[in-house]
Chains A and B, each alone.
Chain A
């Protein structure tokens, strides 16, 4: 059925909704390091991200649709970040700000996640250490372009493990059951050593295997 009034109505409505979403991206700031300072500068008067409809800085994930990971993410912070990502309602976008969030930067050590895109979907990568506010606005406009097309990285993929598995997902953990003495080491989440991970039925993941090179193209 082509060319019907209904089709015309729905496509036009979708375009209008996507336009509205793109021009009201409410950011959830996740500033853990120096990039957070540049992020603050972007939201202040000189660079004024309010021009893009992003003035509502929501520190609650439930009212935001753009996660800005600005800073290095450590082993202890990654479950928190994933939990915040899960609590954000769809549709949602994510900006990885700076070298540390995108690739681990100069910190190639035991406790630093080598790129948050290994574990959560990222829509725009921002190079720089730290990036200038202009780079931030560029990434924001890229996400706006994606939103106008109705695209989001989080919808391109299907979660095959993690989010749908109560034993592994951070959404099913509470602050009471998370970091606690006498944790159950039999679950894959606590099997740190690759050998132990295989024994627990959770083959260790090699990030290079399914990890495409970061591209900021939309």
Chain B
């Protein structure tokens, strides 16, 4: 069982700030963890540091998700943000890395070589947001059908789709009997 030790947050903040310097866009205190905001190209460096630094030891990968700030009222550095959550069993704290990715051709280096568990979650982010992870071993859709077009969790995607849900063969299409029957 992992004990939550909030006093270790300061240790994490000091280490990350010393490492990233002015590449750190900002940090935010959440309820049980701290969130570090970086640019997309710096995210993997920071995650590798969090994992490999002996005094930190963020050895457990929790989750990857993404945010689309297209219609967000507060201005953000970029349109997309990919959010990585990590846990340090030694320190008993979580840390989040928020990597901002520009619109147009959103790309990030994959972290599957650091954490094997990131494989499917990166596929999910690719499927629903269209953010490409460079170096992923098998980047294909995981939730939507393979031949689906578009990335449905983007804010500019219509809520009711583009007619996909009405496009199947119909098994009771007509009450007209063909000629020669009954």
Contacts and interface: CB of A to CB of B under 8 A. Distances in A.
Nearest to A171: B169
Contacts of A202: 167
B102 to A, nearest CB: 25
Binding site secondary structure of chain B: loop
A112 B165 CA distance: 7
B163 A197 contact: yes
Contacts, number: 129
B146 A179 contact: yes
B144 A121 contact: no
B167 A119 contact: no
Contacts of A190: 147
Interface string A150-179: 000110111111110100111000000001
Interface range for B: 20 to 34
A149 interface: no
A110 B160 contact: yes
B153 to A, nearest CB: 10
Nearest to A179: B146
Interface stretch (A24-32, A131-139, A203-211): A203-211
A110 B175 contact: no
Contact of A110 (B140, B159, B173, B176): B159
Interface in A5-55: none
B149 interface: yes
Given A120-B172, A162-B171, A109 B166 contact: no
Contacts of A188: 167
Nearest to B143: A76
Interface stretch (A57-65, A78-86, A95-103, A140-148): A78-86
Interface in B127-182: 140, 143-149, 152, 157-178, 181
10 contacts: A75-B145, A85-B171, A108-B159, A159-B172, A162-B171, A185-B147, A192-B164, A197-B167, A205-B167, A206-B166
Interface of A: 75-76, 78-79, 82, 85-86, 108-114, 118-121, 153-154, 156-163, 165, 168-170, 179-181, 183, 185, 188-194, 197, 202, 204-207, 210
Given A163-B171, A189-B168, 9 more contacts: A82-B171, A109-B160, A118-B166, A163-B169, A168-B169, A179-B145, A179-B146, A179-B147, A202-B167
